[in-house]
Chain A
Amino acid sequence: MTEAASVSRERLYDGPDAGAATHSALAQTWSDPPGWRGWFAAINHKTIAGRFIAATFLFFVLGGLLALAMRWQLASPRTRAVGPDMYAQLFTMHGTTMMFLFAVPVMQAVATYLVPLMIGARSVAFPRMNAFAFWIFVMGGAFLFIGFVAGAGPNTGWFSYVPLASADYAPGKGVDIWAQMITFTELAGLLEAIVLITTILKMRAPGMSLSRMPLFVWATLVTQCMVLFAMPSVMLGSTSLILDRLVGTHFYNPARGGDVLLWQHLFWFFGHPEVYLIFIPPLGFISTIIATFARRPVFGYTAMVLSLIAIAFLAFGLWVHHMFATNLPEIGKAFFTAASLAIALPSGVQIFCWLATLITGRLQFRTPLLFVLAFFFILVLGGLSGVMLGSVSLDLQVHDTYFVVAHLHYVLLGGAVFPLFGAFFYWFPKFRGRMLSERLGRWQFWLFFVGFNVTFFPMHWLGLQGMPRRVWTYPEGMGWDGMNLLSTVGAFAIAASVLLFIVNVARSWRHGAIAGADPWHAGTLEWTIASPPPPHNFDAMPVVQGREPAWGARPRRAVSGLAADAREVLTTSVRDADPLTRSLFPSPSLWPFISALATTALFVASVFTPWAVVWGAVPVALAVIAWFWPGRAETEQALALETKP
């Protein structure tokens, strides 16, 4: 970077006619620095997203191991493998890990990798903030697991209801750590939302108007807008919880004017939209995968976009259906029943548009498509039990039973994990440049599909027969033995399928077949560049002329004139993506990592003494100021490239 100003006279500019020298200058400019310092200073969106995806997958495996421990315990009556308190920690850690450390963040992680590639950009907006958010997320997850291993695991369920989670009934540090983990992950999630929204609205390639944006990018935009309004609620709720526990406030203490249902409102006002934070990005995966393997654009693009937006709005009107068993007014519950049923309409529009695409397409049954087809089967079952639970009378009968456990796993695994694996098979060749094994992929798929149904389908019956959730063991003679054993067998089949996936990735990492730029003959922009993509993504930014830019027969137009020896990016207008500025982006820096360390010190110490919020803020402020303070060389480069508006 330092020599940039001195060579400004012979500055290299990119463009479709630029040669190899320009391409290698671009690659050098956009690379992360080498060495261990460089590792912590990295800000390239693909580097950060790769680590982010790996971290969320590690949490997925850890959460899965916790689930296996629970299934082991429940395989037969009166097992004594773990005691009741450990069992409570297991289900709390499992739910918390899967929801806060896997399902929501993995969708953001995948999006920060794919969105710039799909919209023809060289970076995400605010790349240093993107790195900071990743570090905050990892440190928050580590804090939770370190607490668990050290014997301070939370044990009040993944939604941590008061009064059980109050200081009187949950002494120790477990719930404090849980509440602070929420602060970590929601801070990371909110920052990622700003990164993604700004990237999508302001950095699309020229010509990619909103009406030409890929459906996955639409799904991401809609999801991240929901994040802005949903996550503050749980952050405020968990902050109030930790204040009640540590400094003696009374938000949730009825003896001093507080209210326990206030927690449920704050939690579910976030918690129900959260289901859609998990579920809407996979709708984007599915639209992408179906279009590619049906060899045609998705039927009803406008209807698809409008129904994504409709789902997002309705998702904020559903939270009370998690609270049907409380003493809320019946008229209110009727409203939420109606809203819960109404969301079936836009979801139905999506399903019928996909069916129309599949019926009129020429299908190619590759592994990604198998996972998508399984989604239809499983989500329809999960949706049906959801419609049942949406009615107050039935909900009261099966509340807190295994019927609910079955329902939520059908929705979350069917709605998110199956499409996510499909997406991984689909985009792995782009990430790594090599194909995953199709044969292992099919084995994994069938093991997962069968294992999933064997695990969770019997739980519907267990619930109807009255087996409550969250019991650490049960006596013989309840008629639950056989189905519990069956469910445990299924859980181990799922574990085997995940193991096969890990083996597949590990083998294909070095020995997979070379993928080439476009192994699936797909229509979106990420397939027009090499696999794996070079550090700068595009040798020349494309000019987009249609919805499936890679499928067009016309010769492609491109942008020229961005500096190749500086991190210049093109910003464009929100609706029509007309070129507006060429902005200079920041270079790699250690400060986001150091700021994340300082923030972590503040959050962790505040669990032990409230004064940490005061003295812990000093290093955070210093680190963030150092982060923003411009370097002399950077400023010289910026001045050399400056053109006033």
Chain B
Amino acid sequence: MSVRPDPLDVRALPSYAFGRLSLMWWGTVGMMLIEGTVFAICILMYFYLRGIAPAWPIDAAPPDLLWGSVNTLILLASLLPNQLAKRAAEREDRGRARLWLVVCLLFAVAFLVVRALEFGTLNVQWYANAYGSVVWLLLGLHTTHLITDTIDTVVLTVLLFTGPFEGKRFVDVSENALYWYFVVASWLPIYAVLYLAPRGGT
């Protein structure tokens, strides 16, 4: 028999890791690429329809700035507890991680309530014309993300309080924070399209 090289022993490797070293990071990034593409194409639809319209917005006043702008500030402010939760998770500090997740959830309640008010200030219905349709689609798609991200965070927070708990849950908190960043970051161009673009003339 020929001499076989020594096996590569992997027993000492960690059983989980953060960021790009974890599979969850890659899964989350995949979802972000897909959903980012959805938002980008939806924005292209908006400008395509605007490009063929004789006047924009079609038969409607632009959306009122107040609630959309307030919500932008709430979303941006939510990045702070989100980052603190991420950092606590990466230091494996369960107490602080769940504390900051609870704070994140308070922000989530705030932006969901304000989002409901936003729909009331669009000044157009989805069935009025193509402008109304694409505005509702864009805001509806983003709201879906706010809702799913909130549910994710609720589940994770409860799990951090009740267990069963293992170290890998810290990775979940960290990836949840990454997704939260995506939901906030994707809002900024959508805010600009919904609220500022109709004010820029035709």
A, B in one complex:
yes
A residues with a Cβ closer than 8 A to B are 13, 15-17, 125-126, 129, 190, 193-194, 197-198, 201-202, 206, 228-229, 231-233, 235-236, 239-240, 243-244, 247-251, 253, 256-259, 262, 265-266, 269, 540, 543, 555-562, 570-571, 574, 579-584, 621, 625, 628-632, 634-636, 638-639, 641-645
Partner of A250, one of B6, B12, B52, B130: B130
Which residue of the partner chain B has the closest CB to A563?
B11
Q: Give the chain B neighbours of A628 by CB distance below 8 A.
A: 155
Nearest 3 pairs of A and B residues by beta carbon: A561-B11, A257-B130, A249-B133
Q: Mark B1-24, 1 if CB is under 8 A from A, else 0.
A: 011111111111111111011110
On whether the beta carbons of B38 and A259 are closer than 8 Å, the reply is no
Q: Give the chain A neighbours of B116 by CB distance below 8 A.
A: none
Knowing A197-B26, A560-B10 are in contact, say whether A262-B129 is a contact too (CB < 8 A). Answer: no
Which of B72-80, B106-114, B163-171 forms contacts with chain A? Answer: B163-171
Q: Give the chain A neighbours of B2 by CB distance below 8 A.
A: 555
Total interface residues on B, CB under 8 Å, equals 59
Which of B41-49, B96-104, B183-191 forms contacts with chain A? Answer: B41-49
On whether the beta carbons of B17 and A581 are closer than 8 Å, the reply is yes
Partner of A562, one of B10, B22, B27: B10
B139, chain A: closest CB distance, angstroms: 13
Knowing A235-B38, A257-B49 are in contact, say whether A580-B130 is a contact too (CB < 8 A). Answer: no
Q: Give the chain B neighbours of A249 by CB distance below 8 A.
A: 126-127, 130, 132-133, 136-137
Q: Give the chain A neighbours of B151 by CB distance below 8 A.
A: 621, 625
> How far, in whole Å, are A265 and B44 apart by their CA atoms in the complex?
11
Which of B28-36, B61-69, B81-89 forms contacts with chain A? Answer: B28-36
> How far, in whole Å, are A638 and B168 apart by their CA atoms in the complex?
9
- Asked if B37 is at the interface of the complex by the 8 Å CB criterion, the answer is yes
- Asked if B192 is at the interface of the complex by the 8 Å CB criterion, the answer is no
On whether the beta carbons of B164 and A581 are closer than 8 Å, the reply is no
On whether the beta carbons of B34 and A228 are closer than 8 Å, the reply is yes
A273, chain B: closest CB distance, angstroms: 12
Partner of B10, one of A244, A570, A644: A570
On whether the beta carbons of B7 and A16 are closer than 8 Å, the reply is yes
Partner of B27, one of A125, A632, A642, A644: A125
On whether the beta carbons of B12 and A643 are closer than 8 Å, the reply is yes
Partner of B137, one of A240, A248, A262, A266: A240
Q: Give the chain A neighbours of B20 by CB distance below 8 A.
A: 574
Q: Give the chain A neighbours of B129 by CB distance below 8 A.
A: 250, 256-258
Partner of B133, one of A15, A197, A251, A559: A251
- Asked if B131 is at the interface of the complex by the 8 Å CB criterion, the answer is yes
Q: Give the chain A neighbours of B16 by CB distance below 8 A.
A: 581, 583, 642, 645
Q: Give the chain A neighbours of B13 by CB distance below 8 A.
A: 570, 579-582, 643
8 contacts between A and B (CB under 8 A): A243-B133, A250-B129, A250-B133, A266-B41, A557-B6, A583-B15, A635-B163, A645-B14
On whether the beta carbons of A642 and B159 are closer than 8 Å, the reply is no
Which residue of the partner chain A has the closest CB to B59?
A257
On whether the beta carbons of A236 and B14 are closer than 8 Å, the reply is no
> How far, in whole Å, are A60 and B112 apart by their CA atoms in the complex?
46
On whether the beta carbons of A639 and B7 are closer than 8 Å, the reply is no
B1, chain A: closest CB distance, angstroms: 9
Which residue of the partner chain B has the closest CB to A270?
B41
> How far, in whole Å, are A629 and B13 apart by their CA atoms in the complex?
26
Q: Give the chain A neighbours of B134 by CB distance below 8 A.
A: 251
> How far, in whole Å, are A582 and B163 apart by their CA atoms in the complex?
23
Knowing A15-B7, A236-B38, A555-B4 are in contact, say whether A580-B21 is a contact too (CB < 8 A). Answer: yes
Knowing A232-B38, A645-B17 are in contact, say whether A543-B8 is a contact too (CB < 8 A). Answer: yes
On whether the beta carbons of B41 and A571 are closer than 8 Å, the reply is no
- Asked if B92 is at the interface of the complex by the 8 Å CB criterion, the answer is yes
> How far, in whole Å, are A452 and B168 apart by their CA atoms in the complex?
54
> How far, in whole Å, are A439 and B45 apart by their CA atoms in the complex?
55
Q: Give the chain B neighbours of A540 by CB distance below 8 A.
A: 7
A261, chain B: closest CB distance, angstroms: 9
A116, chain B: closest CB distance, angstroms: 14
Q: Give the chain A neighbours of B53 by CB distance below 8 A.
A: 257
Q: Give the chain A neighbours of B15 by CB distance below 8 A.
A: 581-584, 638, 641-644
> How far, in whole Å, are A248 and B129 apart by their CA atoms in the complex?
9
Q: Give the chain B neighbours of A631 by CB distance below 8 A.
A: 164
Interface SS majority for chain A: mixed
- Asked if B58 is at the interface of the complex by the 8 Å CB criterion, the answer is yes
Partner of A198, one of B26, B128, B136: B26
> How far, in whole Å, are A239 and B45 apart by their CA atoms in the complex?
13
> How far, in whole Å, are A574 and B16 apart by their CA atoms in the complex?
16
B107, chain A: closest CB distance, angstroms: 20
A287, chain B: closest CB distance, angstroms: 26
> How far, in whole Å, are A198 and B30 apart by their CA atoms in the complex?
9
Q: Give the chain A neighbours of B58 by CB distance below 8 A.
A: 256-257
On whether the beta carbons of B41 and A232 are closer than 8 Å, the reply is yes
Q: Give the chain B neighbours of A257 by CB distance below 8 A.
A: 49, 52-53, 58, 129-131
On whether the beta carbons of A236 and B26 are closer than 8 Å, the reply is no
Knowing A193-B30, A201-B26 are in contact, say whether A251-B45 is a contact too (CB < 8 A). Answer: yes
Partner of A560, one of B7, B49, B166: B7
> 18 additional contacts, CB 8 Å, given A642-B166, A643-B12, A645-B18?
A190-B34, A194-B30, A198-B26, A228-B37, A232-B41, A249-B133, A256-B128, A257-B129, A257-B130, A555-B5, A556-B4, A561-B10, A571-B23, A580-B13, A584-B15, A630-B166, A642-B16, A645-B17
On whether the beta carbons of B37 and A559 are closer than 8 Å, the reply is no
On whether the beta carbons of B34 and A13 are closer than 8 Å, the reply is no
On whether the beta carbons of B137 and A13 are closer than 8 Å, the reply is no
B155, chain A: closest CB distance, angstroms: 6
> How far, in whole Å, are A235 and B37 apart by their CA atoms in the complex?
11
> How far, in whole Å, are A342 and B107 apart by their CA atoms in the complex?
51
> How far, in whole Å, are A392 and B10 apart by their CA atoms in the complex?
59
On whether the beta carbons of B17 and A559 are closer than 8 Å, the reply is no
On whether the beta carbons of A198 and B159 are closer than 8 Å, the reply is no
Q: Give the chain A neighbours of B45 by CB distance below 8 A.
A: 236, 240, 251, 262, 266
> How far, in whole Å, are A581 and B6 apart by their CA atoms in the complex?
20
> How far, in whole Å, are A303 and B126 apart by their CA atoms in the complex?
51
Q: Give the chain A neighbours of B26 by CB distance below 8 A.
A: 125, 194, 197-198, 201-202
Q: Give the chain B neighbours of A15 by CB distance below 8 A.
A: 7, 9
Q: Give the chain A neighbours of B10 by CB distance below 8 A.
A: 559-562, 570, 579, 582
> How far, in whole Å, are A202 and B22 apart by their CA atoms in the complex?
9
Which residue of the partner chain B has the closest CB to A635?
B164
Q: Give the chain B neighbours of A236 by CB distance below 8 A.
A: 38, 41-42, 45
Which residue of the partner chain B has the closest CB to A553?
B2
Partner of A561, one of B4, B9, B48, B136: B9
Considering only residues 165-199 of chain B, those with a C-beta below 8 Å from chain A are: 165-168
Q: Give the chain A neighbours of B35 by CB distance below 8 A.
A: 232
Knowing A253-B130, A635-B166, A642-B167 are in contact, say whether A557-B4 is a contact too (CB < 8 A). Answer: yes
Q: Give the chain B neighbours of A243 by CB distance below 8 A.
A: 126, 133, 137
Q: Mark B118-153, 1 if CB is under 8 A from A, else 0.
A: 000000001111111110110000000000000100
A248, chain B: closest CB distance, angstroms: 4
On whether the beta carbons of B17 and A259 are closer than 8 Å, the reply is no
> How far, in whole Å, are A530 and B124 apart by their CA atoms in the complex?
64
> How far, in whole Å, are A629 and B136 apart by their CA atoms in the complex?
34
Q: Give the chain A neighbours of B131 by CB distance below 8 A.
A: 257
